[in-house]
Amino acid sequence: MSVCVVGLGYVGLPTALLFAQHHEVVGVDIDESRVDALNQGTLPFEEPGLPELFEEVRENFSAAVAPTEDADVYVIVTPTPLDQTVDVADLTAVRAAAEAIGDVLSPDDLVVLESTVPPGTTERLVVPSLELGGLSREQFDVAHCPERAIPGRTLDEVVGNDRVVGGLDVDAALRARELYADVVEGTIRTTDATTAEFVKLMENTHRDVNIALANEFAKIAEEIGVNVHDAIPLANEHPRVDVLSPGPGVGGHCITIDPRFLAQRTDSDRLISVARDVNDSMAAHVLGLVTDRLRGDHHATITVLGAAYKADVGDTRETPALPFVKLAENAGYEVRVHDPHVSEFAVEPTELDAAVLESDCLVVLTGHEAFADVDPERMAELMDGRDVVDARATLDRESWESAGFDVRVLGDGR
Ligand code: SAJ
């Protein structure tokens, strides 16, 4: 069997390389430089295990800028961003991929959509786009198999997690299940395409709403004089409670966006929309903690530790650091950003010592393990101020306080 994976991003490329352990795979991307680099043996981003897998499957994998007609199976893994002007999914890339596949599609081929989409998209957009190539719906199979992998553990999760496959009909679901069974060790459940689309959006919306709840608990704890980081583990001892961790907001390409894909299809989204707003409000809340520390000195210099959207990854998509930096700059602060995982991050300087030199306040926005190892004594030598706001409860408070710092942790009202 020959597989063509369209979209070589954070999920598409690892998935394509996993398929290449079993099949001939052509990976397609509109970014010519990415295609050239891959054909010359260079990976476009970091992901644990990916270099080793790439090396192993090089003979079975090639990259191209357009789908090949030789494939029997096509998998679409293109981005589905939010069109911010109208708050609905921008399905341009999915439509373009389906139309390009439609041009080369043969009878009996299988097309699988992995991209996260609003309910109904597989049936109402993917199928008609494929049909533009000349075949009709009865001549090919279509299924939706939403990805469930978390960046930083993509390979382990693609292989290990259970999956849901929704077919436009039973045959399509069974064929798609067979395809994924080559690489997925978890259980693969079959359903219809729209249910599979809904399931994916429910998963990320569930996480967003639960993070919002943790963030609201953090704000309440500050008001009532309690440390939420003491309270959460105690609440989580209840067998049916699992409170997540508060933070400066929710980032990443999925959780910030997917709840809106549900909202665009319904008016029954009150809780979902409020949760989004709560999470979006956290950058301003953290800035409020900073302003309290700096006692209104709006000319102070702030050093942000962490540009990535979450711990120990180099991914800055939808990072809460960006709104925080914008708000802080608008308030008059000079802001520097340091992130050891994000070398290309546009804000200079990126070296820690230079970033903190003569700074008045440190603000931890990402819980990178590396930040737990930062030496507070060294920071005290370099900085002018002694204020720290830790929005991820990452630093060892005692050692920073012994070095003379005044540490404020998000959610600690004591
Ligand atoms: N976060 C918190 N508190 C928490 C957990 C997370 O503030 O307790 C923040 C993180 O710092 C980050 C954001 O939420 O900014 C999202 O991080 P995440 O680790 O929860 O999720 P993602 O976006 O990296 O990956 C999610 C996963 N979905 C779920 O866990 C339901 C992943 O399984 C999906 O495959 C992925 O979205 C996707 O592509 O849809």
Q: Locate the ligand 1 atom nearest the alpha carbon of residue 319 and give its number.
A: 15
Residue 303 lies in a domain: yes
**What integer pLDDT is reported at residue 296 of this predicted model?**
77
Q: Locate the ligand 1 atom nearest the alpha carbon of residue 148 and give its number.
A: 35
Among residues 131, 155, 186, which one ends one of the domains?
Answer: 186
Query: Is there a single domain that holds both residue 134 and residue 32?
Result: yes
Query: Is there a single domain that holds both residue 265 and residue 367?
Result: yes
**What integer pLDDT is reported at residue 223 of this predicted model?**
98
**What integer pLDDT is reported at residue 46 of this predicted model?**
84
**What integer pLDDT is reported at residue 204 of this predicted model?**
97
Among residues 151, 166, 186, which one ends one of the domains?
Answer: 186
Q: Rounded CA gap, 214 and 292, in Å?
A: 22
Instruction: State which of 164, 211, 253, 272 you would mutate to test the pocket of ligand 1, scoring each by most atoms of that ligand within 8 A of its C-beta.
Output: 211
Query: Is there a single domain that holds both residue 274 and residue 390?
Result: yes
Domain of 389 in residue numbering reads as 229-409
Q: Locate the ligand 1 atom nearest the alpha carbon of residue 244 and give its number.
A: 8
Query: Is there a single domain that holds both residue 159 and residue 279?
Result: no
Query: Is there a single domain that holds both residue 147 and residue 233?
Result: no
Using the mean position of ligand 1's atoms as its centre, give its distance from the Cα of residue 10 in Å: 14
Q: Rounded CA gap, 150 and 147, in Å?
A: 9
**Ligand 1: which residue has its CA nearest to atom 35?**
148
Residue 202 lies in a domain: no
Q: Locate the ligand 1 atom nearest the alpha carbon of residue 311 and give its number.
A: 11
Residue 221 lies in a domain: no
254 flagged as catalytic: yes
**Max Cα–Cα distance, the chain, nearest Å:** 72
Query: Is there a single domain that holds both residue 147 and residue 264?
Result: no
Among residues 123, 155, 186, which one ends one of the domains?
Answer: 186
The tally of domains found in the chain comes to 2
Q: Are 360 and 387 in contact (CB under 8 A)?
A: yes
Residue 169 lies in a domain: yes
- Name residues contacting ligand 1 (CB within 6 A): 116, 147-151, 203-204, 207, 211, 214, 244-245, 247, 250-252, 254-255, 309-310
Name the residue among 100, 124, 105, 122 with its Cα closest to residue 113. Answer: 122
Name the residue among 119, 94, 111, 128 with its Cα closest to residue 173. Answer: 111
Residue 350 lies in a domain: yes
Using the mean position of ligand 1's atoms as its centre, give its distance from the Cα of residue 255 in Å: 6
Spot the catalytic one: 4, 145, 219, 254: 254
**What integer pLDDT is reported at residue 283 of this predicted model?**
98
**Ligand 1: which residue has its CA nearest to atom 34?**
148
Per-residue pLDDT of the chain (414 residues; tens, 9 = 90+): 999 999 999 999 999 999 999 999 999 999 999 999 999 999 998 899 999 999 999 999 999 999 999 999 999 999 999 998 998 999 999 999 999 999 999 999 999 999 999 999 999 999 999 999 999 999 999 999 999 999 889 999 999 999 999 999 999 999 999 999 999 999 999 999 999 999 999 999 999 999 999 999 999 999 999 999 999 999 999 999 999 999 999 999 899 999 999 999 899 999 999 999 999 999 999 999 999 999 878 899 999 999 999 999 888 999 999 999 999 999 999 999 999 888 765 445 558 999 999 999 999 999 999 999 999 999 999 999 999 999 999 999 999 999 999 999 999 999
CATH number for the domain that contains residue 278: 3.40.50.720
